[in-house]
Structure 1
Amino acid sequence: MSKIKYEIEFPIHASPSMLYQYFSSPSGLEEWFADRVNSRGKLMTFMWDDSEEEATIVSKKQDERARYKWTESEGDDTYFEFRVQVDAITKDVSLIVTDFSDEDELEESKMLWENQIDELKHRIGA
């Protein structure tokens, strides 16, 4: 079954460069995304209580975006991406999360991201 691509936008009161550190570095990701994060080159290992997942950094652009691909989903076109968007007029900053989910897990996946981003906002103080 093919997965559905979705995007969620989260307004966040933080500078793009500060936000970038939270989703592109192991120490930043440990603050809100996983309990521990190890990186070896382009390979990132995310650890939670009793599970471990590996992802490859597909691409990064300083202060703008980082795209990861879970190693277990090698054969397909899925990825997850964090992208900073700044409104040209208001200068408001948003974090846009792109991810893929099975249709029957879509709402659950979105809720999971909302909880994670709430934690991120809490850490930033936004």
Structure 2
Amino acid sequence: MSKEKFHIEFMMGNVSQNSLWRMISHPDGLSEWFADEISVDEESNQYIFTWNKDSESANVIFSRPLSAIRFHWLDDEDENSYFEFALYKVELTGDMTLEITDFAEPDEKSDAIILWETQVEEMKRRLGI
């Protein structure tokens, strides 16, 4: 069974783009809401995410500063799958939007969406949104 791509969009209010970028791309920001601990190998662009002493590594396969960052899990056999955080500014209001793109098995998609919603709520709490 192949994974399905999905997008989730979150309104982030008038939080600064720099603050959001730190939360989605820097180890100290990601460790506030995404994983317990994060380390980065700068040479290989490899992030090591740790949850309850279990670790998974991901490579940064695309990054546009203050705009988007895309990761690929090293143990994911599907070379085309990734997870991405993208930031957009709503022109009319100036508010920021966070779009998450991810892949999941069809029967796990709703669980993945719920997990992202929970994690982003923690990020919002940390940012005071």
* Shorter-normalised TM range: over 0.9
Deviation of the 1:83 alpha carbon: 0.4
1:9-48 correspondence to structure 2 within 5 Å: 9-13=9-13, 14-41=15-42, 42-48=45-51
Question: How does 1:3-14 map onto structure 2 within 5 Å?
Answer: 3-13=3-13, 14=15
1:76 positional shift:
2.1
Q: Which structure has the highest helix share of the two?
A: 1
Q: How does 1:51-90 map to 2 (within 5 A)?
A: 51-90=54-93
Amino acid of the structure 1 residue aligned with 2:82: Y
CA-based RMSD of the aligned residues comes to 1.0
Find runs of 4+ consecutive structure 1 residues off by over 2 angstroms.
Answer: none
Q: What's the TM-score once normalised by structure 1's chain length?
A: 0.96
1:96 aligns with 2:86: no
Figure out how many residues of one structure are paired with residues of the other and give that number: 126
Gaps of 5+ in 2: none
**Would the alpha carbon gap of residues 68 and 122 (structure 1) be closer, same or farther in structure 2, given more than 3 Å must change?**
same
Kindly provide the CA deviation profile for residues 5-54 of structure 1, in whole angstroms up to 9, marking residues without a partner as x: 00000001211111000010111111110000010020000001131100
Partner of 1:117: 120
TM-score normalised by length of structure 2: 0.94
- 1:105 aligned onto 2:108: yes
Amino acid across the alignment from 1:29: L
Q: For residue 59 of structure 1, report the CA deviation from its aligned partner.
A: 1.3
Gap regions ≥5 residues in structure 1: none
